[in-house]
Structure formats: C-alpha cells, structure tokens
Amino acid sequence: MKTEGKMGQIHYIKDTVCFAAGAVGAAIAQIYGGWSAAMTTLIICMAIDYITGLIVAGIFHKSRKTDDGKLNSLVGWKGLVRKGITLLIILIAARLDLLLGTTLIKDTAVIAFIANEVISIVENAGIIGIPIPKVILNAISVLKDEADAGADTVEKLRKKNETEE
C-alpha cells in the first residue's frame, strides 16, 4: 500500500513539473510573439557554439579568450551572459514587431544572430582541425546577406514613416 502511495506521489510530482514546464514554455513563446524554426535554430546554434567553445578550451587548450588557452569559468560565464542578452535583444525585436504589425525586425535579428553563432562554431571547428564544407561557408554568406537586406528594409520603413509625419 505504501508503494502505491509513493508511486502516486511520484506521478503527481512528475505531472506538476511537466505542467509547469509547459506553462513556462508557452509563456516564453507568447512573449516572443510565437516560436519559429529560426528561434529553434538560434537556440541550437547557441548550444553548439558553447559546447564547441568548451571543447576548444577544455580539451585542446586553444581558446583565444584566455592567455593559456584553457578553460576559465569567468570566460564561460561571460559567454552565457552574452547569449542571454542576445535573447533579450530578440525579445525587444519581437515586441517592436508587435507594435509595428510585422515580423521583419525579429526575423532579421534572429538571422543575424544565427550567422554570428555559425561563424563562431566554424571558427571553433577550424581551431580543432575540422575542415569546413564550402556549402556551410556559402550558407553563412547567405545568412549575412539576408540580415543586411532585412536591416535595409527596416531603414526604408523608418524613412517612409518619417516622411509621412
């Protein structure tokens, strides 16, 4: 009888944690104006970049961010803080889009940050001696071009709004 009681408690705790995680995830998606494949791609690239940075420093001792090339907790912490601020900038872009009735600002910002993350991943891979396929390098150029085009469009919209006022 005690076993069923403990199992029931375990299921209740599991269900509560799953519900809470789902609610938090839904709230986060809502404040970002919805979740997209681009946002998922950005999060994945951020994680890969962080992991490859740890590998470069922790295993190969070739980090460009420390004097001895080794792991440094402060450098790691700064990297996480930068990624958090990146997500806050994306949040601001999403809220600006909401005000303007567009998705251009958020999409452009996400693409630009994806390009930065991929460049960093490629640099980390290069440091540890992994050859980078040309198709990946070409994709980085395309991402940069899309981000620049989006920024140009935002600038045109701004100028158009100024002349209408």
Mean pLDDT value of segment 75-97: 97
Q: What is the pLDDT of residue 1?
A: 45
Per-residue pLDDT for 3 more than 70? Answer: no
For residues 26 and 66, state if they share a domain: no
Per-residue pLDDT for 131 more than 50? Answer: yes
For residues 126 and 142, state if they share a domain: yes
For residues 138 and 75, state if they share a domain: yes
For residues 124 and 108, state if they share a domain: yes
Per-residue pLDDT for 154 more than 90? Answer: no
**Tally of structural domains, the chain:** 2
pTM, two decimals, is: 0.81
What is the domain extent for residue 88?
A: 36-164
Q: What is the pLDDT of residue 158?
A: 74
Q: What is the DSSP string of 42-93?
A: HHHHHHHHHHHHHHHHHTS---TTSSSSS--HHHHHHHHHHHHHHHHHHHHH
- 94 CB burial (10 A radius; 0-12, 13-18, 19+): buried
For residues 13 and 52, state if they share a domain: no
For residues 20 and 41, state if they share a domain: no
Which candidate, 35, 46, 106, 127, places its Cα nearest to that of 82? 46
For residues 23 and 41, state if they share a domain: no
Q: Which residue has the higher pLDDT, 126 or 152?
A: 126
Identity (one letter) of the amino acid at 106? K
Q: What is the pLDDT of residue 148?
A: 85
Mean pLDDT value of segment 126-155: 88
For residues 12 and 70, state if they share a domain: no
User: What are 63-79's pLDDT values in tens digits?
Assistant: 999 999 999 999 999 99
Mean pLDDT of the chain: 91
For residues 119 and 134, state if they share a domain: yes
Q: What is the pLDDT of residue 96?
A: 95
Q: At what angle do helices 104-127 and 73-100 cross, to 10 degrees?
A: 160
Residue 145 DSSP SS3: helix
